[in-house]
A = this chain, B = another copy of it.
Amino acid sequence: MYKTSKETQERKDVKRQFILDTAAKVFSQKGYHYTSVKDIVEEANISIGSFYFYFKSKEELFTELFVNITKKFQKVTDKVLDVDHFSLSKNFTRVIIGNLWMYEQHKELAKIMLIEAAGVNPTFQKMRFDSIKESSSTVENWFKRFKTNHAVNIPDEKTAALIYEGSFYYLISDWLESDQAIKLTDSGYALCIYSLQALKISFEDSDIRQYITEVLEELTQSK
């Protein structure tokens, strides 16, 4: 049982993760269809055989990458929500900034999630869209809860949720495209204002700025 030891398993896990990370990098640079398995293994300095020892296929690896990213983003939303001292504007701000911060931390993965996943293949387009719908439906429920207690102005929650989700899309795309190291979170304030006003949630400018500072600090420390 030499090779079944815990140590060996750990080394395997590390290598597997390393391949995933390398693949993410290459995918985000060249695009899924223009990235060959050869490209990945050369970047990772491993053999083709090793690649297929750890992953069943190129598509399976990509799927795993995508699922991982999606999960990571869901976790951040859960984490930043301040359910104890509930305030609409505060929570909105925290979630928006939380999301932008995540994109900033995982630029490569973000590119895969937002851009690449769209063009992989029809099966994948569905998968991608299911994940969007899921997070959208969370937002939808959120909106519905608001409506009962506050003066939020939303004719149709489902539509509003999709609009809200979409409003991130080009902002992040723009940031992904630009090579300069702009801070995505800098756009956060504008996105918060836009969204809060759209939903007619009352807020004080200074509070929003305060919330942003707070949550960014929390996130940076927790890293």
Contacts and interface: CB of A to CB of B under 8 A. Distances in A.
Contact of A121 (B31, B163, B197): B31
A117 to B, nearest CB: 8
Contacts of A171: 159, 162-163, 166
Contacts of A163: 167, 170-171, 190-191, 194
A160 interface: yes
A193 interface: yes
Q: For the side of the interface on A, what is the size category? A: 35 or more
B173 A122 contact: no
Contacts of A195: 198
A104 interface: no
Contact of A198 (B133, B136, B165, B198): B198
Contacts of A32: 119
